[in-house]
A and B are shown apart, each in its own frame.
Chain A
Amino acid sequence: MKNLALAAAFAIFLAGCSNQPNPNQIYKGLDGYSNELYNYEVTEDPTNLIKKIETIIEKNHPLVPPGIYAQLGYIYAKQSQSQMAIKFFEKEMELFPESQIFMQRVIKKIKEGK
Protein backbone atom coordinates (compact mmCIF):
# COMPACT_ATOMS: atom_id res chain seq x y z
CA MET A 1 0.00 0.00 0.00
CA LYS A 2 2.76 2.37 1.00
CA ASN A 3 4.67 1.43 -2.14
CA LEU A 4 1.64 2.16 -4.23
CA ALA A 5 1.29 5.61 -2.71
CA LEU A 6 4.96 6.22 -3.32
CA ALA A 7 4.66 5.13 -6.93
CA ALA A 8 1.65 7.39 -7.36
CA ALA A 9 3.54 10.30 -5.86
CA PHE A 10 6.43 9.70 -8.22
CA ALA A 11 4.08 9.51 -11.20
CA ILE A 12 2.50 12.82 -10.22
CA PHE A 13 5.95 14.32 -9.74
CA LEU A 14 6.89 13.30 -13.26
CA ALA A 15 3.59 14.60 -14.58
CA GLY A 16 4.28 17.93 -12.90
CA CYS A 17 7.52 18.20 -14.83
CA SER A 18 6.60 16.75 -18.15
CA ASN A 19 3.98 19.11 -19.55
CA GLN A 20 6.60 20.83 -21.69
CA PRO A 21 5.77 20.99 -25.38
CA ASN A 22 8.00 18.66 -27.33
CA PRO A 23 8.98 20.05 -30.73
CA ASN A 24 9.15 16.57 -32.19
CA GLN A 25 5.59 15.63 -31.45
CA ILE A 26 3.87 17.00 -34.56
CA TYR A 27 5.36 14.49 -36.99
CA LYS A 28 6.60 10.96 -36.55
CA GLY A 29 9.69 9.42 -38.08
CA LEU A 30 11.60 12.65 -38.80
CA ASP A 31 14.57 11.47 -36.75
CA GLY A 32 17.36 10.61 -39.12
CA TYR A 33 15.66 12.22 -42.11
CA SER A 34 18.37 14.91 -42.37
CA ASN A 35 21.01 12.19 -42.23
CA GLU A 36 19.45 10.47 -45.22
CA LEU A 37 19.32 13.79 -47.09
CA TYR A 38 23.01 14.16 -46.35
CA ASN A 39 23.82 10.60 -47.42
CA TYR A 40 21.93 11.16 -50.66
CA GLU A 41 23.94 14.32 -51.27
CA VAL A 42 27.20 12.41 -50.69
CA THR A 43 26.47 9.12 -52.46
CA GLU A 44 23.79 10.24 -54.97
CA ASP A 45 22.06 6.92 -54.27
CA PRO A 46 18.46 7.69 -53.26
CA THR A 47 17.51 4.14 -52.11
CA ASN A 48 17.72 4.79 -48.37
CA LEU A 49 16.25 8.28 -48.62
CA ILE A 50 13.23 6.95 -50.52
CA LYS A 51 12.80 4.23 -47.91
CA LYS A 52 12.94 6.85 -45.17
CA ILE A 53 10.40 9.03 -46.99
CA GLU A 54 8.04 6.07 -47.40
CA THR A 55 8.25 5.42 -43.65
CA ILE A 56 7.52 9.07 -42.86
CA ILE A 57 4.52 9.11 -45.22
CA GLU A 58 3.16 5.88 -43.74
CA LYS A 59 3.60 6.98 -40.13
CA ASN A 60 2.01 10.40 -40.62
CA HIS A 61 -0.70 9.65 -43.14
CA PRO A 62 -2.65 11.75 -44.00
CA LEU A 63 -0.72 14.62 -42.34
CA VAL A 64 2.59 14.27 -44.18
CA PRO A 65 5.22 16.81 -43.10
CA PRO A 66 5.94 19.80 -45.38
CA GLY A 67 8.43 19.25 -48.17
CA ILE A 68 8.38 15.46 -48.12
CA TYR A 69 6.54 15.05 -51.44
CA ALA A 70 8.54 17.90 -52.95
CA GLN A 71 11.74 16.08 -51.93
CA LEU A 72 10.47 12.93 -53.69
CA GLY A 73 9.73 15.07 -56.74
CA TYR A 74 13.30 16.37 -56.64
CA ILE A 75 14.73 12.84 -56.51
CA TYR A 76 12.72 11.76 -59.57
CA ALA A 77 13.50 14.99 -61.42
CA LYS A 78 17.19 14.31 -60.87
CA GLN A 79 16.73 10.86 -62.40
CA SER A 80 14.98 12.47 -65.38
CA GLN A 81 11.67 10.80 -64.50
CA SER A 82 9.67 13.91 -65.28
CA GLN A 83 6.17 12.45 -65.03
CA MET A 84 6.78 11.05 -61.54
CA ALA A 85 8.48 14.26 -60.46
CA ILE A 86 5.56 16.43 -61.59
CA LYS A 87 3.12 14.09 -59.85
CA PHE A 88 4.85 14.59 -56.51
CA PHE A 89 5.29 18.35 -56.92
CA GLU A 90 1.55 18.56 -57.58
CA LYS A 91 0.89 16.47 -54.49
CA GLU A 92 2.98 18.88 -52.39
CA MET A 93 1.05 21.81 -53.82
CA GLU A 94 -2.27 20.16 -53.03
CA LEU A 95 -1.32 19.47 -49.38
CA PHE A 96 0.43 22.81 -48.84
CA PRO A 97 -1.04 25.67 -50.87
CA GLU A 98 1.76 27.94 -49.60
CA SER A 99 4.16 25.97 -51.83
CA GLN A 100 2.12 26.65 -54.96
CA ILE A 101 4.11 29.53 -56.43
CA PHE A 102 7.42 27.69 -56.26
CA MET A 103 6.06 24.26 -57.20
CA GLN A 104 4.47 25.69 -60.34
CA ARG A 105 7.75 27.33 -61.22
CA VAL A 106 9.59 24.04 -60.77
CA ILE A 107 7.03 22.10 -62.83
CA LYS A 108 7.34 24.69 -65.59
CA LYS A 109 11.11 24.28 -65.57
CA ILE A 110 10.81 20.48 -65.86
CA LYS A 111 8.37 20.78 -68.76
CA GLU A 112 10.81 23.12 -70.50
CA GLY A 113 13.44 20.43 -70.04
CA LYS A 114 15.75 22.26 -67.64
Chain B
Amino acid sequence: MRVVFVIFAIFLAGCSVKEPNYPSYKSHFPAANKLRNNTFLILPPLNKTTAADATKYASMALATPFVAKGYYVLPVSLTNAFFQTENLSDPEQIHKINIKKLGEIFGVDTVIYPVIHRWDTDYMIISSSVGANIELKAVDVKTGVTLWQLQGARSSDFEGQVKGETLLELAITLAISTTFASINSAVGYFDLAHSSVYEVARQIPYGKYHKNYEEMWDMPNRFSPREVFDFPNLQQRNSVLTPR
Protein backbone atom coordinates (compact mmCIF):
# COMPACT_ATOMS: atom_id res chain seq x y z
CA MET B 1 0.00 0.00 0.00
CA ARG B 2 2.76 2.37 0.97
CA VAL B 3 4.60 1.53 -2.23
CA VAL B 4 1.53 2.45 -4.27
CA PHE B 5 1.28 5.75 -2.46
CA VAL B 6 4.93 6.51 -3.12
CA ILE B 7 4.47 5.67 -6.80
CA PHE B 8 1.47 7.95 -6.99
CA ALA B 9 3.36 10.78 -5.32
CA ILE B 10 6.26 10.38 -7.72
CA PHE B 11 3.89 10.29 -10.66
CA LEU B 12 2.38 13.57 -9.57
CA ALA B 13 5.82 15.05 -9.13
CA GLY B 14 6.72 13.92 -12.63
CA CYS B 15 3.77 15.80 -14.02
CA SER B 16 3.80 18.91 -11.93
CA VAL B 17 7.30 20.14 -12.71
CA LYS B 18 6.57 20.46 -16.40
CA GLU B 19 3.72 22.98 -16.55
CA PRO B 20 4.42 26.48 -15.37
CA ASN B 21 2.00 28.97 -16.92
CA TYR B 22 3.03 28.71 -20.52
CA PRO B 23 0.64 30.45 -22.89
CA SER B 24 -1.17 28.37 -25.48
CA TYR B 25 -0.01 28.49 -29.08
CA LYS B 26 -3.35 30.07 -29.91
CA SER B 27 -2.91 32.97 -27.53
CA HIS B 28 0.73 33.52 -28.40
CA PHE B 29 0.30 33.41 -32.16
CA PRO B 30 -3.20 34.78 -32.79
CA ALA B 31 -2.50 35.73 -36.40
CA ALA B 32 -1.01 32.33 -37.21
CA ASN B 33 -3.98 30.66 -35.53
CA LYS B 34 -6.42 32.71 -37.56
CA LEU B 35 -4.72 32.25 -40.91
CA ARG B 36 -3.40 28.66 -40.48
CA ASN B 37 -0.67 29.06 -43.10
CA ASN B 38 1.40 26.04 -44.04
CA THR B 39 3.39 26.68 -47.21
CA PHE B 40 6.71 28.54 -46.91
CA LEU B 41 8.96 30.32 -49.35
CA ILE B 42 12.27 31.13 -47.63
CA LEU B 43 14.08 34.05 -49.27
CA PRO B 44 17.88 34.35 -49.48
CA PRO B 45 18.98 35.92 -46.17
CA LEU B 46 20.00 39.55 -45.84
CA ASN B 47 23.59 39.55 -44.68
CA LYS B 48 24.38 42.07 -41.94
CA THR B 49 27.83 40.58 -41.31
CA THR B 50 31.10 40.95 -43.17
CA ALA B 51 31.32 37.25 -44.03
CA ALA B 52 30.81 37.30 -47.78
CA ASP B 53 29.60 33.71 -48.16
CA ALA B 54 27.13 33.82 -45.27
CA THR B 55 24.02 34.22 -47.45
CA LYS B 56 24.83 31.31 -49.71
CA TYR B 57 25.69 28.89 -46.93
CA ALA B 58 23.22 29.95 -44.25
CA SER B 59 20.45 29.37 -46.79
CA MET B 60 21.10 25.65 -46.53
CA ALA B 61 20.30 25.70 -42.80
CA LEU B 62 16.93 27.39 -43.12
CA ALA B 63 14.45 24.83 -44.45
CA THR B 64 14.84 21.53 -42.60
CA PRO B 65 13.86 22.76 -39.11
CA PHE B 66 10.51 23.90 -40.53
CA VAL B 67 10.00 20.71 -42.55
CA ALA B 68 10.59 18.77 -39.33
CA LYS B 69 7.99 20.98 -37.68
CA GLY B 70 5.31 19.94 -40.20
CA TYR B 71 5.34 22.73 -42.76
CA TYR B 72 5.63 22.55 -46.53
CA VAL B 73 8.83 24.37 -47.47
CA LEU B 74 10.01 24.86 -51.05
CA PRO B 75 13.65 23.67 -51.28
CA VAL B 76 15.84 26.70 -50.76
CA SER B 77 18.51 25.68 -53.29
CA LEU B 78 15.78 25.49 -55.93
CA THR B 79 14.14 28.81 -55.07
CA ASN B 80 17.53 30.55 -54.86
CA ALA B 81 18.45 29.15 -58.29
CA PHE B 82 15.09 30.32 -59.61
CA PHE B 83 15.80 33.89 -58.50
CA GLN B 84 19.15 33.68 -60.27
CA THR B 85 17.54 32.66 -63.55
CA GLU B 86 15.43 35.81 -63.17
CA ASN B 87 18.66 37.81 -62.77
CA LEU B 88 17.96 38.45 -59.11
CA SER B 89 20.98 37.64 -56.96
CA ASP B 90 20.99 40.48 -54.44
CA PRO B 91 19.00 39.51 -51.32
CA GLU B 92 18.26 43.14 -50.60
CA GLN B 93 16.58 43.46 -53.98
CA ILE B 94 14.71 40.17 -53.50
CA HIS B 95 13.42 41.22 -50.06
CA LYS B 96 11.88 44.28 -51.69
CA ILE B 97 9.78 42.33 -54.19
CA ASN B 98 6.06 42.79 -53.62
CA ILE B 99 4.90 39.93 -51.41
CA LYS B 100 1.71 39.33 -53.42
CA LYS B 101 3.87 38.88 -56.51
CA LEU B 102 6.00 36.32 -54.65
CA GLY B 103 2.85 34.51 -53.57
CA GLU B 104 1.66 34.38 -57.16
CA ILE B 105 4.93 33.09 -58.59
CA PHE B 106 5.70 30.52 -55.91
CA GLY B 107 2.17 29.56 -54.90
CA VAL B 108 2.90 29.91 -51.18
CA ASP B 109 0.87 31.45 -48.36
CA THR B 110 3.88 32.57 -46.28
CA VAL B 111 7.17 34.25 -47.11
CA ILE B 112 10.07 33.97 -44.65
CA TYR B 113 12.48 36.93 -44.53
CA PRO B 114 15.78 35.86 -42.93
CA VAL B 115 18.48 38.23 -41.67
CA ILE B 116 21.93 37.08 -40.62
CA HIS B 117 23.16 39.17 -37.71
CA ARG B 118 26.16 37.08 -36.82
CA TRP B 119 28.16 34.49 -38.72
CA ASP B 120 31.77 33.96 -37.61
CA THR B 121 34.11 31.69 -39.40
CA ASP B 122 37.37 33.24 -38.31
CA TYR B 123 37.34 32.89 -34.55
CA MET B 124 41.08 32.33 -34.30
CA ILE B 125 41.85 35.95 -35.11
CA ILE B 126 38.90 37.94 -33.87
CA SER B 127 37.53 36.32 -30.78
CA SER B 128 37.66 33.19 -28.71
CA SER B 129 34.08 32.31 -29.55
CA VAL B 130 32.24 31.57 -32.79
CA GLY B 131 28.58 32.16 -33.24
CA ALA B 132 25.58 32.55 -35.47
CA ASN B 133 22.58 34.78 -35.01
CA ILE B 134 19.72 34.51 -37.47
CA GLU B 135 16.46 36.42 -37.43
CA LEU B 136 13.41 35.10 -39.25
CA LYS B 137 10.20 36.92 -40.04
CA ALA B 138 7.15 35.09 -41.39
CA VAL B 139 4.70 37.21 -43.36
CA ASP B 140 1.27 36.24 -44.67
CA VAL B 141 1.10 36.68 -48.43
CA LYS B 142 -2.53 37.78 -48.66
CA THR B 143 -2.72 40.27 -45.80
CA GLY B 144 0.93 41.25 -45.26
CA VAL B 145 0.48 40.47 -41.56
CA THR B 146 3.57 39.32 -39.67
CA LEU B 147 2.88 35.88 -38.19
CA TRP B 148 6.02 35.85 -36.08
CA GLN B 149 9.43 37.46 -35.99
CA LEU B 150 12.05 35.66 -33.96
CA GLN B 151 15.77 35.50 -33.53
CA GLY B 152 17.87 32.42 -32.86
CA ALA B 153 21.45 32.61 -31.65
CA ARG B 154 24.13 30.10 -30.81
CA SER B 155 27.73 30.64 -29.92
CA SER B 156 30.58 28.45 -28.80
CA ASP B 157 30.50 29.83 -25.25
CA PHE B 158 26.80 29.09 -25.13
CA GLU B 159 27.06 27.12 -21.86
CA GLY B 160 27.70 30.27 -19.88
CA GLN B 161 24.44 31.85 -21.01
CA VAL B 162 21.93 29.09 -20.60
CA LYS B 163 18.79 29.69 -18.65
CA GLY B 164 17.32 26.22 -19.19
CA GLU B 165 14.42 25.55 -16.89
CA THR B 166 13.50 21.99 -17.60
CA LEU B 167 15.26 18.66 -17.89
CA LEU B 168 14.57 18.56 -21.59
CA GLU B 169 16.12 21.96 -22.19
CA LEU B 170 19.10 21.01 -20.10
CA ALA B 171 19.57 17.85 -22.15
CA ILE B 172 19.39 19.84 -25.39
CA THR B 173 21.88 22.35 -24.02
CA LEU B 174 24.33 19.65 -23.04
CA ALA B 175 24.05 18.02 -26.43
CA ILE B 176 24.70 21.34 -28.13
CA SER B 177 27.66 22.30 -25.99
CA THR B 178 29.31 18.94 -26.61
CA THR B 179 29.38 19.60 -30.32
CA PHE B 180 31.40 22.73 -29.61
CA ALA B 181 34.38 20.61 -28.71
CA SER B 182 34.97 20.19 -32.41
CA ILE B 183 33.99 23.72 -33.33
CA ASN B 184 36.94 24.48 -35.57
CA SER B 185 35.90 21.80 -38.02
CA ALA B 186 34.77 23.08 -41.40
CA VAL B 187 31.07 22.78 -40.72
CA GLY B 188 31.22 23.92 -37.09
CA TYR B 189 29.72 27.30 -37.80
CA PHE B 190 27.14 25.77 -40.08
CA ASP B 191 25.92 23.65 -37.18
CA LEU B 192 25.63 26.81 -35.09
CA ALA B 193 23.54 28.43 -37.80
CA HIS B 194 21.36 25.33 -38.02
CA SER B 195 20.82 25.32 -34.24
CA SER B 196 19.90 29.00 -34.38
CA VAL B 197 17.21 28.28 -36.94
CA TYR B 198 16.03 25.28 -34.95
CA GLU B 199 15.72 27.53 -31.91
CA VAL B 200 13.29 29.72 -33.85
CA ALA B 201 11.43 26.74 -35.30
CA ARG B 202 10.74 25.16 -31.94
CA GLN B 203 9.03 28.30 -30.64
CA ILE B 204 6.42 28.55 -33.38
CA PRO B 205 3.24 26.49 -33.89
CA TYR B 206 3.41 23.14 -35.70
CA GLY B 207 2.56 22.81 -39.38
CA LYS B 208 -0.30 20.77 -40.79
CA TYR B 209 1.80 17.65 -41.42
CA HIS B 210 2.41 17.26 -37.70
CA LYS B 211 0.05 14.78 -36.11
CA ASN B 212 -0.69 17.12 -33.19
CA TYR B 213 -1.53 20.01 -35.51
CA GLU B 214 -5.19 20.45 -34.48
CA GLU B 215 -4.89 19.96 -30.73
CA MET B 216 -1.61 21.92 -30.57
CA TRP B 217 -3.35 25.31 -30.74
CA ASP B 218 -4.81 24.85 -27.26
CA MET B 219 -1.68 23.28 -25.80
CA PRO B 220 0.81 25.31 -23.74
CA ASN B 221 3.82 26.47 -25.74
CA ARG B 222 6.76 25.42 -23.58
CA PHE B 223 9.10 27.29 -25.88
CA SER B 224 7.06 30.46 -25.99
CA PRO B 225 9.28 33.33 -27.12
CA ARG B 226 9.39 35.27 -23.87
CA GLU B 227 10.50 32.20 -21.94
CA VAL B 228 13.32 31.30 -24.25
CA PHE B 229 16.98 32.07 -23.71
CA ASP B 230 18.04 35.61 -24.17
CA PHE B 231 21.57 36.57 -24.95
CA PRO B 232 22.44 39.75 -23.07
CA ASN B 233 26.10 39.56 -24.07
CA LEU B 234 25.54 39.01 -27.73
CA GLN B 235 25.11 42.61 -28.86
CA GLN B 236 28.24 43.54 -27.02
CA ARG B 237 30.25 40.83 -28.68
CA ASN B 238 28.81 41.72 -32.05
CA SER B 239 29.97 45.30 -31.75
CA VAL B 240 33.49 44.08 -31.08
CA LEU B 241 33.29 41.91 -34.14
CA THR B 242 31.80 44.20 -36.74
CA PRO B 243 34.57 46.67 -37.58
CA ARG B 244 37.27 44.46 -39.06
Binding site for B on A (CB under 8 A): 2, 5, 8-10, 12-17, 20-21, 23-24, 26-27, 30, 33-35, 37-42, 65-67, 70-71, 73-74, 78, 96, 98-102, 105-106, 109, 114
Contacts and interface: CB of A to CB of B under 8 A. Distances in A.
Contact of A38 (B18, B57, B210): B57
Contacts of A13: 10-11, 13-14
Interface of B: 3, 6-7, 10-15, 17-18, 38-39, 56-57, 59-61, 63-65, 67-79, 81-82, 85, 105-108, 167-168, 187, 190-191, 194, 201-202, 206, 209-212, 216, 219, 222
A14 B78 CA distance: 43
B39 A98 contact: yes
Contacts of B211: 26
Nearest to B4: A5
15 contacts: A17-B18, A20-B222, A23-B70, A26-B210, A27-B67, A34-B194, A35-B190, A35-B194, A37-B60, A37-B64, A71-B78, A98-B72, A98-B108, A105-B105, A114-B85
A69 to B, nearest CB: 9
A59 to B, nearest CB: 13
Contact of B206 (A12, A14, A21, A40): A21
A8 B222 CA distance: 27
Contacts of B65: 23
Contacts of A26: 68, 70, 209-211
Given A17-B17, A17-B167, A35-B187, A98 B63 contact: no
A109 B7 CA distance: 65
Contacts of A35: 187, 190-191, 194
B105 A102 contact: yes
A5 B7 CA distance: 8
A41 B64 contact: no
Contact of B14 (A16, A24, A34, A73): A16
A96 B40 CA distance: 13
Nearest to B74: A102
B18 A34 contact: no
B108 to A, nearest CB: 8
A34 B58 CA distance: 10
Contacts of B75: 67, 70-71, 74
B15 A41 contact: no
Contacts of A101: 105-107
Contact of B216 (A12, A21, A70, A73): A21
A21 B187 contact: no
Given A13-B14, A42-B57, A66-B71, A34 B64 contact: yes
Contacts of B212: 21
A74 to B, nearest CB: 4
A15 B14 contact: yes
B63 A67 contact: yes
Of the listed residues A8, A23, A74, the one surrounded by the most CB atoms of chain B closer than 10 A to its CB is A23
A27 B190 contact: no
B168 A37 contact: no
B168 A20 contact: yes
